[in-house]
């Protein structure tokens, strides 16, 4: 019996030692100390799990004055460097220790990090927002959706999105519009990256049964901070179109593109994501296209639920015969983030 008791005590001591070794410590700018498990910091907000709360705490990164942890993190610096190591220190002098070196930085130089975890789920991000409208007048029924899925590691990320609008109304043809995207980005030094992606569009207003646009290019983060990202990219693309008009032929061509994306997130519970991509056709010299997106999101009191206002605009200076040069969609959705 005594041996069993000693074994239990030994196991408890080992467990306590393991737990204490994994405890992270934060000191805020007003002097408060928090201990727990830091999961990540992204878009200027740090997430920490504590033993005295059922839900995770969210703290603005700029309100942290000291950080100590023995866990490994994948770390992104304002300079564009991406490291795997430990973070320890104060606001003016923090040490990042990797397998091969030790780097001294300020806390404000760290723009994002995430606890290094081999599990698949920890590297996945997802969002789903839906909106539904019904009116008695002319029996209007409308459904819209904006969704995304991503997988991130230290040196690369893969992502996809799917946006759709369906509308039915008495005495009016059904309206359907679908935007989809898949992309892969590999990060280089000094915030440069290379990317490969493909966009898909189904748009009845512009008589597009299916437009697929595979692209490959490179770019750079002009701004990469704790409050905003701004990236610029350029490359080449193909444009493959099938018309919903059976009398129109398919149109295939080559293009060059220029893209800009702005992500602003240091506004409390409000964030802004907008992008624009301009295409110059090589085969039809005077044809220009542009895809523009604007998403304004409000997170409910720091939770995973949100309401989003989205605006999408497509322009084509050389549309299919009988179709409109422009089409736009305004969507209001209620959703959830993973």
Compute how many other C-beta atoms are within 10 angstroms of the C-beta atom of residue 170: 9
From 45-59, 148-162, 237-251, 279-293, the region with the lowest mean pLDDT: 45-59
Q: Render pLDDT for 30-75 as a digit per residue (tens, 0 to 9).
A: 888 888 888 888 888 888 888 776 667 888 888 888 888 888 888 8
CA 41 to chain centre: 14
Closest of 144, 107, 112 to residue 129, by C-alpha: 144
Q: Among positive and negative, which fits the CA dihedral 311, 178, 237, 289?
A: negative
Q: How far apart are the first and last CA of the chain?
A: 48
In the predicted model, what is the mean pLDDT of residues 212-238? Answer: 93
Q: Which domains does the chain have, with CATH numbers?
A: 24-117 (2.30.30), 122-337 (2.40.160.40)
Compute how many other C-beta atoms are within 10 angstroms of the C-beta atom of residue 46: 22
The span from the CA of 126 to the CA of 144, in Å, is 17
Residues in Cβ contact with 32 at an 8 Å cutoff, skipping those fewer than 6 apart: none
Range list of β-strands (E), 7-55: 24-28, 33-42, 45-49
pTM over 0.85: no
208 neighbors 222 (Cβ within 8 angstroms): no
């Amino acid at each position: 019996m005594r041996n069993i008791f000693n074994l239990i005590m030994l196991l408890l001591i080992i467990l306590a030692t393991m737990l204490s070794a994994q405890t992270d410590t934060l000191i805020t700018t007003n002097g408060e100390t928090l201990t727990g498990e830091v999961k990540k910091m992204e878009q200027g907000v740090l997430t920490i799990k504590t033993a005295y709360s059922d839900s995770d705490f969210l703290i603005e990164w700029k309100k942290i004055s000291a950080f100590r942890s023995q866990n490994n993190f994948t770390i992104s610096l304002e300079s564009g460097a991406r490291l795997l190591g430990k973070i320890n220190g104060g606001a003016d002098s923090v040490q990042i220790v990797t397998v091969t070196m030790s780097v001294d930085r300020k806390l404000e130089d760290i723009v994002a990090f995430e606890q290094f975890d081999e599990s698949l789920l920890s590297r996945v991000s997802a969002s789903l927002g839906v909106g539904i409208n019904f009116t008695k007048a002319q029996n209007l029924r409308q459904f819209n959706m904006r969704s995304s899925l991503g997988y991130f590691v230290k040196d690369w990320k893969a992502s996809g999105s799917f946006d759709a609008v369906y509308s039915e109304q008495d005495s009016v043809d059904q309206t359907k519009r679908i935007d989809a995207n898949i992309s892969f980005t590999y990060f280089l030094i000094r915030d440069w990256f290379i990317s490969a992606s493909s966009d898909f569009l189904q748009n009845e207003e512009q008589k597009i049964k299916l437009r697929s646009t595979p692209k490959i290019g490179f770019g750079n983060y002009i701004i990469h901070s704790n409050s905003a990202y701004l990236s610029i990219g350029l490359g080449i693309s193909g444009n493959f179109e099938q018309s919903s008009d059976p009398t129109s032929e398919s149109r295939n061509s080559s293009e060059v593109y220029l893209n800009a994306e702005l992500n602003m997130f240091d506004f409390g519970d409000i964030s802004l994501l907008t992008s624009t991509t301009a295409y110059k056709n090589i085969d039809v010299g005077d044809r220009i296209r542009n895809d523009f997106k604007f998403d304004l999101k409000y997170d409910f009191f720091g939770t995973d639920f949100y309401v989003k206002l989205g605006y999408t605009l497509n322009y084509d200076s050389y549309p299919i015969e009988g179709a409109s040069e422009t089409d736009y969609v305004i969507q209001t959705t209620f959703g959830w983030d993973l």
